[in-house]
Copies of this chain bind each other. A is one copy, B any other.
Amino acid sequence: MQDIILAHNKSGGTAMLDKLAGKKPLFTCVIGVTETAKIHGISAAGENPEITDYTPPADVELLHLGKCRCIPGVPVTPDGIPTPALITMSALKLAEIPTLVVNAGLKVKPYVPFVELGGCPGRDIRTGKALDNAQEVMNRAIIAGENLSKTADYLVVGESIPGGTTTALSVLLAMGINAKGKVSSSMPLNPHELKIKTAEKALKAAGVEASEFAHEPIKAVSTVGDPMQPAAAGLIIGAAKNVPVIMAGGTQMAAVLAVVNASNPEVLGNVAIGTTRWIIEDKTADLNGLVAEIADVPVLAADIDFGVSRFDGLKAYEAGVVKEGVGCGGATISAILKSKGTITKDVLLKEIENNYKQLVNSK
């Protein structure tokens, strides 16, 4: 399919694309927060770490309302680069894809409908006690996934959680995946050392040896993970029993893949990762390597290109800012597939630029 890159496990990816072309997806976006994001230098939050509590609810407000309500304007990096929710919103709108927000654990609730799973915000992983009720949240997410899988031809599961690549790293290490230096960052300069130091502190605080939780995913996320992980994993496990699932995200989804693989590996034949070209081309990370080590599901990447955009705020994506989030890669892939290729990357860019212009002007 045009504008979708087969990035890993090409035969599996081709089979998945054939299966999904023209079909009707349901897009879900799992949102949560973790205090880990407030560690200086971890996320692109800049001088105001509290803003990370507002980013996920603001992102999903944008999806449903075309504007944010819990903050003025839209989420941006310290340099003013807009949230990838702008891409997701544009893709979902163009392809008329229904959307359901899922709350995995928030401090600030969005002013839109969302599925509640009883989760809580995540603690700083350096406490070694990240989550209290991960098993319960996963169980409820499985119920939601089972029911939603009866309403759509396939499910797309995106995420928005600041600090999520650091918690992905620590969960992957706890589960025995050699993930050091392989997780992405929303910043061009990937702070690997800080992430590794944080993850190692977390493991130490939890008294966990690397790979100790290879077969205990709930313990891994409960000690050093974030709330998005068990919620997304549960949705995927519940849905992929019945229908295909696109895990829409970058290296954060590698941690979710590890959790699913350790819980219900039998569903993985129905699963692919859907991300962006920016993640695949990220020299500071290695999503394909992580996937190969965990479970060899296909990786598909939306071939979005902002290099030709007339807006500097979008062009910046080509310099390695943001890269992924709010399921923007998976949403784009499913928009292309639902339209059987009528929605191209050029059509999408025009829509994104129109929405960008309106949102920046209305700010």
Contacts and interface: CB of A to CB of B under 8 A. Distances in A.
A140 B116 contact: no
Contacts of A100: 147
Interface stretch (A45-53, A106-114, A351-359): A106-114
A339 to B, nearest CB: 15
B113 A109 contact: no
Contact of A117 (B113, B143, B151, B152): B113
A96 interface: yes
A115 B115 contact: yes
Given A103-B116, A109-B118, A118-B109, A143 B98 contact: no
A113 B99 contact: no
Interface in A114-148: 114-118, 136, 140-141, 143-144, 147-148
Nearest to A26: B151
Contacts of A147: 64, 98-100, 113
A150 interface: yes
Nearest to A114: B116
Given A64-B143, A140-B111, A148 B116 contact: no
Given A64-B143, A143-B64, A150 B113 contact: no
A144 B136 CA distance: 25
A143 B98 CA distance: 10
Contact of A148 (B65, B97, B98): B98
A98 B151 contact: yes
A144 B113 contact: yes
Contacts of A98: 147-151
Nearest to A117: B113
B96 A113 contact: no
Contacts of A148: 98, 151
Contacts of A99: 147
Contacts of A65: 143
Given A97-B150, A114-B116, 17 more contacts: A24-B150, A96-B150, A98-B149, A98-B150, A98-B151, A99-B147, A100-B147, A103-B116, A109-B118, A112-B143, A113-B117, A113-B141, A113-B147, A114-B115, A115-B115, A151-B151, A151-B152
Closest 5 CB pairs of A and B: A98-B150, A151-B151, A113-B144, A98-B147, A116-B116
15 contacts: A24-B151, A26-B151, A64-B147, A65-B143, A96-B150, A98-B147, A98-B148, A98-B149, A112-B143, A113-B141, A113-B143, A114-B115, A115-B116, A148-B151, A151-B151
